[in-house]
Chains A and B, each alone.
Chain A
Amino acid sequence: MTPAEGPTGGDIDRLIHEPARRVIMTILYTAVSADFLYLLRETGLSKGNLSSHLSKLEAAGYVEIEKTFRGKIPLTICRLSEGGRTAFRRYRGYLKKVVASMTR
């Protein structure tokens, strides 16, 4: 599955629409990158759950994950790919359209 295709259901991207993944995508869209510890704290997920969601986003090409070290401390850095950024922009645009049509 390529990022351009996306796992969409109709107009909405179901992969991003899942609540935990939506939080992860919103954080990574706002910042340039964030590490596993920050995402863990902000999402309130367990380590296993967060890993699973990140794996799905990585498999879709939305998120890039880099395992590195800061001194002796291992660090897992996550960032949105260009495809992920585009998909998230499209997702937000869709939400805005829906809200606008509901308020008309």
Chain B
Amino acid sequence: MNDLQREMDQIEKRTRRYWFADGLAEIAAGSAFLMVALYFLLSTVFSRGAPKDALNIVFPVLVIVVVFGARRATHLAKDRWVHPRTGYVSFEPRPRNRVANAVLGAVIAAALAFLASRAPIREWIPALMGLIFAAGFFVLGRKAGMLRFPIAGISCAVVGVLLSIQHMEEDRAAGLLFGWLGLVLIAGGTIALRAYLRHAPPQSDGRSGDGPQEKA
């Protein structure tokens, strides 16, 4: 019986891993993080006046467009390259997961905003953000049984701590941390995509349409 449970746990992990097997989701998420990094780095260049105001107005819109665009692009790329090769699996989060994720995100954002307002702690925000990313990657890696996520998480935590030790300007530190995160995700995703395309040749007989016959 214990073996049965282990077997089912493995199947669950393998199924969850399928979303990340081709690396496309990581490439999309990495691109989104690079855009966020760009905002913070541009903030250091345009530190005040009209350009800064324009940046602050454009940024939220940009984030929404990039997040939804990345999501849409991931689905389109999967439809084009992944589903015809190894099959289609839908991973839409269930409504209660969406609410839980939104609440968790809001709590983390509120905690960071609170810390940002307290001067002595402010310079440790990159370290804290790095640790939050690391925790997220560890959870993801554990759920999907993938090693590359904890490795990415450790690198984020290390970079976050290093940036905090440097006592760098906040926007620059945030830009560098998000930039690092974006690059790590894109690099991991690209390696995964190459490996996936090498090991999963396209199906030629359109087997996805088979299945139980309709009853008369």
A residues adjacent to B (C-beta < 8 A)? 22-23, 26-27, 29-42, 47, 50-52, 54-55, 58, 65, 67, 70, 73-79, 92, 95-96, 98-99, 102
Residues of A within 8 A of B212 (CB): 51-52, 54-55, 58, 65
Residues from chain B with Cβ under 8 Å of A47 in the complex: 207, 210
Q: Are B11 and A36 in contact (CB under 8 A)?
A: no
Whether the pair A32, B91 counts as a contact (CB closer than 8 A) is yes
Top 10 closest A-B pairs, CB basis? A74-B209, A38-B87, A76-B211, A37-B87, A37-B208, A35-B88, A30-B15, A55-B212, A32-B90, A26-B11
Tell me, rounded to whole Å, the shortest Cβ–Cβ distance linking A85 to chain B: 11
Q: Find out whether the CB atom of A95 lies under 8 angstroms from the CB atom of B210.
A: no
**Which residues of the partner chain B approach A96 to less than 8 Å between Cβ atoms?**
5
List residues 41-62 of chain B with CB under 8 A from any CB of chain A: none
* Nearest chain B residue, comparing its CB with the CB of A32: B90
For window 182-216 of B, CB contacts with A under 8 Å fall at 203, 206-214
Taking residues whose C-beta sits less than 8 angstroms from the other chain, chain B's interface range is: 20 to 34
Contact assessment for B12 and A76 in the assembled complex, using a CB-CB cutoff below 8 Å: no
Dominant SS among interface residues on chain B: helix
**Nearest CB in chain A to that of B5: its residue:** A95
Query: Which residue, of A37, A54, A70, has the highest number of chain B Cβ atoms within 10 A?
Result: A37
The answer to whether B101 has its CB under 8 Å from any CB of chain A is no
- Nearest residue (CB) in B for A57 is B212
A99 in contact with B1 (CB, 8 Å): yes
The chain A residue sitting closest to B207, CB to CB, is A37
Find the B residue at minimum CB distance from A94: B1
In the bound complex, how far is the Cα of B7 from the Cα of A95, in angstroms? 12
Cα-based distance from A100 to B4 in the complex (angstroms)? 13
The answer to whether A35 and B208 touch across the interface, beta carbons within 8 angstroms, is yes
Q: Which residue of B lies closest to A98 (CB)?
A: B1
Residue in B7, B206, B211 whose CB lies within 8 Å of A67 = B211
A23 to B14 alpha-carbon distance, docked (Å): 11
A-B contact pairs, 23 of them (CB 8 A): A22-B8, A23-B11, A30-B11, A32-B90, A32-B92, A32-B94, A33-B89, A34-B87, A35-B208, A36-B87, A38-B18, A38-B86, A39-B87, A42-B11, A42-B15, A47-B207, A54-B211, A65-B211, A67-B211, A76-B210, A95-B1, A95-B5, A102-B1
- A78 — which chain B residues lie within 8 A by C-beta? 211
**Cα distance A7–B195 in the bound complex, in angstroms:** 43
Cα–Cα distance between A40 and B85 once the two chains are bound (Å) = 12
Q: CB-CB < 8 A to A58: which residues of B?
A: 212
Residues of A close to B90: CB separation below 8 A? 31-34, 77, 79
B117 at the interface (CB under 8 A from A): no
Q: Output the least CB separation between B136 and chain A (Å).
A: 20
B-chain residues with CB within 8 Å of residue A39 when the two chains form the complex: 87
Alpha-carbon distance between A32 and B88 when the two chains are bound, in angstroms: 11
Q: Given contacts A36-B87, A40-B210, could you give 7 more A-B pairs where the C-beta distance is less than 8 Å?
A: A30-B11, A31-B18, A32-B94, A33-B90, A47-B210, A58-B212, A95-B5
